[in-house]
Amino acid sequence: MPRPRHQPTDKTRAEVQAYAMVGVPHHDLARLVQLSIKTLLKYYRDELDTGKARATAQVGRSLFRMATTGNNVAAAIFWMKAQAGWREKQLIEHTGADGDPLNPPDVHVTFTTPKG
């Protein structure tokens, strides 16, 4: 005897979207809401597709507020790196005595035969 056909409710749609927003993988999400992955994908495609986008938008709004209030320098720096293409440049120079360039060290390899 087949199972009764699944009927999505507002409650299950909200639950699926909430899990999707925090990044729960689809196979784990299906287990949490006690559905097969096939049923989850069939009835909740929109919640799965928009959940992460909604979370990203919320975090973006929050980060933007922190960056623009002047109270969070790290948020402002992150925003400029992620959204404005800012990059940090590190230049590492190795010098020898008196600032002269380092020469590669001399390497001597000696092969010997075992004494027998």
Render pLDDT for 6-19 as a digit per residue (tens, 0 to 9).
Answer: 999 999 999 999 99
Mean pLDDT of 20-29: 96
Locate the domains of the chain by residue range.
10-99
pLDDT by residue (tens digit) across 53-101?
999 899 989 999 999 998 899 999 898 888 888 888 877 766 766 777 7
pTM score of the predicted model: 0.61
Q: What is the 3-state secondary structure (H, E, C) of the chain?
A: CCCCCCCCCHHHHHHHHHHHHCCCCHHHHHHHCCCCHHHHHHHCHHHHHHHHHHHHHHHHHHHHHHHHCCCCHHHHHHHHHHHHCCCCCCCCCCECHHHCECCCCCCCCCCCCCCC
**Distance (Å, whole) CA 23 – CA 52:** 7
**Distance (Å, whole) CA 39 – CA 27:** 11
Angle between helices 73-84 and 45-68 (to 10 degrees): 120
**Distance (Å, whole) CA 19 – CA 67:** 27
